[in-house]
């Protein structure tokens, strides 16, 4: 595995792959890798000849008072995990490589970025869209892979790629979960043992709501019940529990549309998100 921190060296490495006619996949991450990230990597190996994994904790997607300074950083362990999995390139730029002195450009995706996490975390998706645009231009992949757990992020990136004519295939990979159902996340490392045990209420509440909606119960009542169950289970607050159109993120879509439940809630100072489809058989 090549570990690269210099942009010119990255482009040289990718140019070698291109010259050989190989298909290149990109897996963008912020590090602290877990089985969820590795599921993205394994799918990338399946759909491409070469895989570039990026690790960059992007300061532009963290708001005031968020966890940028304490976000877990495990570069050595991450690099070993990727090397053992036969990753081709690990791209680990420093902040001044990604945003050099004088950097002044921001990428914003209207509409799909403005509700849910966009409303709860102002500016977050501008930071995501900006760094992903940079990564796409740096690596110039044929395909890029993102987890369904960050479903609004995935929707924003799909809109970005369509609007800016990137010509990159975007693949959403099903959410990976622990045995008890909690979605894997680097932020799970923040949870105390007690809060970790309580956190499983999040996927359980979404599952109960999805089944109720699928059988024809009133969606608003099902969502309100899910929020109440989270608070009673020990969550400190709930940013949202919503049912959205799986393509547009419009809330409360008709039953003839593909629908997903999305939620964000805080426990022990840690903000967790999750999503599941309403209809059985959809990717989780």
Number of independent structural domains in the chain: 2
Q: Is residue 284 part of a domain?
A: no
Q: Is residue 22 part of a domain?
A: yes
**What is the token pair recorded at 249?**
């993120």
Asked whether residue 126 falls in the same domain as residue 201, the answer is no
pLDDT greater than 90 at residue 280 = no
Asked whether residue 55 falls in the same domain as residue 7, the answer is yes
Task: For residue range 209-231, list pLDDT tens digits in order.
Answer: 999 999 999 999 999 999 999 99
Q: What are the residue numbers of the active site? A: 37
Of the candidates 127, 143, 173, which is a domain's last residue? 173
pLDDT greater than 90 at residue 154 = yes
Asked whether residue 128 falls in the same domain as residue 230, the answer is no
Asked whether residue 26 falls in the same domain as residue 154, the answer is yes
Q: Is residue 283 part of a domain?
A: no
**What is the token pair recorded at 89?**
């390139």
Q: Is residue 248 part of a domain?
A: yes
Asked whether residue 20 falls in the same domain as residue 153, the answer is yes
Asked whether residue 117 falls in the same domain as residue 38, the answer is yes
pLDDT greater than 90 at residue 282 = no
Average pLDDT over residues 177-182: 97
Asked whether residue 14 falls in the same domain as residue 153, the answer is yes
Asked whether residue 109 falls in the same domain as residue 160, the answer is yes
- CATH number for 199: 3.30.1300.10
What average pLDDT is seen over the chain? 97
Residue 62 belongs to what domain range? 2-173
Confidence tier at 149 by pLDDT (50, 70, 90): very high
pLDDT > 90: percent of the chain: 96
- CATH number for 144: 3.40.50.620
Asked whether residue 229 falls in the same domain as residue 270, the answer is yes
Of the candidates 173, 198, 229, which is a domain's last residue? 173
What DSSP string describes 116-159? THHHHSTTHHHHHHHHHHHHHHHH--SEEEEETTSHHHHHHHHH
Long-range contacts of 63-71 (CB under 8 A, 24+ apart): 63/121, 63/122, 63/123, 63/124, 66/121, 67/187, 67/190, 70/190, 71/30, 71/32, 71/186
Residues 6+ apart with CB under 8 A from 249: 111, 112, 115, 116, 152, 155
Q: Is residue 251 part of a domain?
A: yes
pLDDT greater than 90 at residue 254 = no
Backbone angles phi, psi at 194, to 5 degrees: -65, -45
Asked whether residue 117 falls in the same domain as residue 143, the answer is yes
Task: For residue range 30-76, list pLDDT tens digits in order.
Answer: 999 999 999 999 999 999 999 999 999 999 999 988 999 999 999 99
Q: Is residue 179 part of a domain?
A: no
pLDDT greater than 90 at residue 281 = no
């Amino acid at each position: 595995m090549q570990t690269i921190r210099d942009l010119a060296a990255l482009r040289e490495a990718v140019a070698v792959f291109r010259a050989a006619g190989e298909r290149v996949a990109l897996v963008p991450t912020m590090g602290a890798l877990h089985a969820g990230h590795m599921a993205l990597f394994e799918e990338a190996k399946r759909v491409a000849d070469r895989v570039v994994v990026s690790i960059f904790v992007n300061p532009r997607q963290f708001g005031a008072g968020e966890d940028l300074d304490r976000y877990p950083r495990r570069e050595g362990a991450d690099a070993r995990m990727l090397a053992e999995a036969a990753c081709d390139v690990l791209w680990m730029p420093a902040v001044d490589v990604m945003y050099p002195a004088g950097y002044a450009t921001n990428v914003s995706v209207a509409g799909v970025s403005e509700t849910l996490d966009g409303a709860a975390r102002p500016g977050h998706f501008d930071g995501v869209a900006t760094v992903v645009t940079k990564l796409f231009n740096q690596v110039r992949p044929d395909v890029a892979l993102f987890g369904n757990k960050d479903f609004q992020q995935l929707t924003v990136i799909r809109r970005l790629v369509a609007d800016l004519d990137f010509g990159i295939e975007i693949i959403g990979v099903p959410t990976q979960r622990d045995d008890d159902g909690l979605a894997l996340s680097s932020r799970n490392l923040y949870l105390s043992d007690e809060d970790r045990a309580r956190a499983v209420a999040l996927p359980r509440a979404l599952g109960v709501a999805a089944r109720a909606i699928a059988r024809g119960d009133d969606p608003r009542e099902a969502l309100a019940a899910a929020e109440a169950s989270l608070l009673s289970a020990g969550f400190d607050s709930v940013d949202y529990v919503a049912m959205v159109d799986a393509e547009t993120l419009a809330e409360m879509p008709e039953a003839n549309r593909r629908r997903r439940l999305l939620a964000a809630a805080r426990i022990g100072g840690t903000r967790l998100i999750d999503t599941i489809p309403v209809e059985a058989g959809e990717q989780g």
